[in-house]
Amino acid sequence: MGNNLFKEKCFGPAAACYDEACKLLGLVVGMKASYDTNSMSDLAVSLNLNLAACALKLVEYEAAKDLCSMILSSFSHNIKALSRRNSAFMKLNKFLDAQSDFEEALLV
């Protein structure tokens, strides 16, 4: 549903869907049910990247930066996170930080 809302440019409702999915994922992981850790981690990264994309569209640049920084703390070579954080830094006029992300993305 979040992806469809994003395609329709309904970024606020899409963000709400992604946020709810993150919370539900946290509950599933918290229950310690039998699950594939890698696929849960991949899903969490995807949801947070989608939230960051919504934040950029909603002019919530600090939120986008923070979401991407969270992802990059565990997955330092995630190109989408580097790219979206770069965009947020550019909008926040933090050009040296943006340049650093751009250079890191080029290395990856």
| Closest to 27 in 3D by CA, of 52, 44, 3 | 44
pLDDT band, residue 21 (cuts 50/70/90) = very high
- Once rounded to an integer, what is the mean pLDDT over residues 30-36? 62
- Once rounded to an integer, what is the mean pLDDT over residues 26-42? 72
pLDDT number for residue 3? 96
Number of structural domains (the chain) is 1
End-to-end CA distance of the chain: 32
Helices 37-57 and 11-30, packing angle to 10 deg: 160
Q: Please check whether residue 36 is in contact with residue 28, taking contact to mean a CB–CB distance below 8 angstroms.
A: no
pLDDT digits (tens, 9 = 90+) for 52-84: 999 999 999 999 999 999 999 999 999 999 999
pLDDT number for residue 32? 63
Q: Please check whether residue 86 is in contact with residue 108, taking contact to mean a CB–CB distance below 8 angstroms.
A: no
| Percentage above 90 pLDDT, the chain | 84
- Once rounded to an integer, what is the mean pLDDT over residues 30-34? 62
Give me 33's structure tokens: 């049910």
**Is residue 35 scored above 70 in pLDDT?**
no
pTM for the full predicted model:
0.90
Q: What is the CATH number of the domain that holds 101?
A: 1.25.40.10
**87 lies in which domain range?**
2-107
**Is residue 34 scored above 60 in pLDDT?**
no
